[in-house]
Amino acid sequence: MTTAFLDAYGQFLHLAETLHFSRSAEALAMSPSALTRCIQRLEEDLGQRLFVRDRRKVTLTRAGQLFREHARQQVAAHHALLEALAAEEQSPSGELRIACTVTACHSVLPDLLASCRARYPDIALQLRTGDAARSLQQLHGDEVDMAVVPAPDVADSDLRYVNLAATALTFVAPAADEDMQARARRGGAEWNGLPVILPRRGVERARADEYFADMGVSPSLYAEVDGNEAILAMVSLGCGVGLVPELVRLDSPLRDAIRAIDVPRPPAGYAVALCAKRRTLERRAMAAFWELAERPSA
């Protein structure tokens, strides 16, 4: 909408309120004849009379009443647009709490966090580390705004997801126990009674259970733990075979104390996703960070 139209709409609305040409003209700092010409141009454009004017009074026609509502909407929409554009010029600000694993801090989030810091320096980033299942609990409990977790096979309808990375799942055995490595590699019945360390819950646990069921084997559950770092620590000590994301294995300071085990038809990997509640993304700082996460170069 042009400035001329906005001016004309404003002048019309003022006159529609006062129903007095001289009073409106004075308030608008224009002559009554100039205001009259403005109204006449609007009437010509619309092909309708907007006012009835006689010696005693000025009244709105039915067309004038309809146009008054239209003019109000247009002026309000224009002001809202100007406010939105002004807000866009201001950098998003506020606290953004993200729950993630230690590995995600090292291998998944650095580029995204750096982009956010460079583009939106007024967003205060806070990272809370723990296992992925705990991160999801924190998200549902509104303890954090976003979480980095394995993308579920069935998405939660209350959440939105954006994939940040992909990882395979790898069986690992103690580097010092070649017999355990050999048994795991041979597969089949060799897995029966083989000590394993598994996550207590989550996608990795589901994948491991499916794998053992498909293979028809029953390993010995040595321990259930929270977090991939705990699995790697116990494997490095010789306690058993574990299943961890390849991203975690490659990033681990214990990688020299463990060995990756190639097995037939290994468990399927998964996407590592950033997730948030839909209502959270209505907040400007959250939406800005999410937009960065959706960019391939983030």
The answer on pLDDT for 89 being more than 80 is: no
User: Is there a contact between 160 and 246 (Cβ–Cβ < 8 Å)?
Assistant: no
Q: Lowest-confidence range among 7-21, 87-101, 108-122, 225-239?
A: 87-101
What is the C-alpha separation between 173 and 197, in angstroms, rounded? 10
Average pLDDT of the residues in 101-105:
90
- Write down the mean pLDDT value for the chain: 91
Q: Which fold has domain 169-268?
A: D-Maltodextrin-Binding Protein; domain 2 (3.40.190)
The two structure tokens encoding residue 113? 């966090």
Average pLDDT of the residues in 47-76:
92
Average pLDDT of the residues in 169-185:
96
Q: Encode pLDDT of 265-293 as tens digits.
A: 899 999 999 999 999 998 889 999 999 99
Q: Which of 16-20, 23-27, 146-150, 224-228 has the highest mean pLDDT?
A: 146-150
Nearest CA among 157, 156, 186 for reference residue 171: 186
CATH of 94-166+271-294, picked from 3.40.190.10, 3.40.50.300, 3.30.470.20, 3.20.20.140, is: 3.40.190.10
pTM of the model: 0.66
Radius of gyration from C-alpha coordinates of the chain = 33
Q: Is the fold of 94-166+271-294 the same as that of 169-268?
A: yes
What is the C-alpha separation between 160 and 162, in angstroms, rounded? 7
Q: State residue 123's pLDDT score.
A: 92
Burial class (CB in 10 A: 0-12, 13-18, 19+), 12: buried
Q: State residue 75's pLDDT score.
A: 87
Domain 3-89 has CATH 3.40.50.300: no
Q: State residue 223's pLDDT score.
A: 96
Q: Please report which confidence band the pLDDT of residue 94 belongs to, taking 50, 70 and 90 as the band edges.
A: confident
What is the C-alpha separation between 120 and 143, in angstroms, rounded? 22
Strand partners, 242: 172, 197
Using CA of residue 240, residue 243, residue 246, residue 251, what is the dihedral sign? negative
Helix pair angle (62-89, 32-46), 10° resolution? 100
Domain definitions of the chain by residue range? 3-89, 94-166+271-294, 169-268
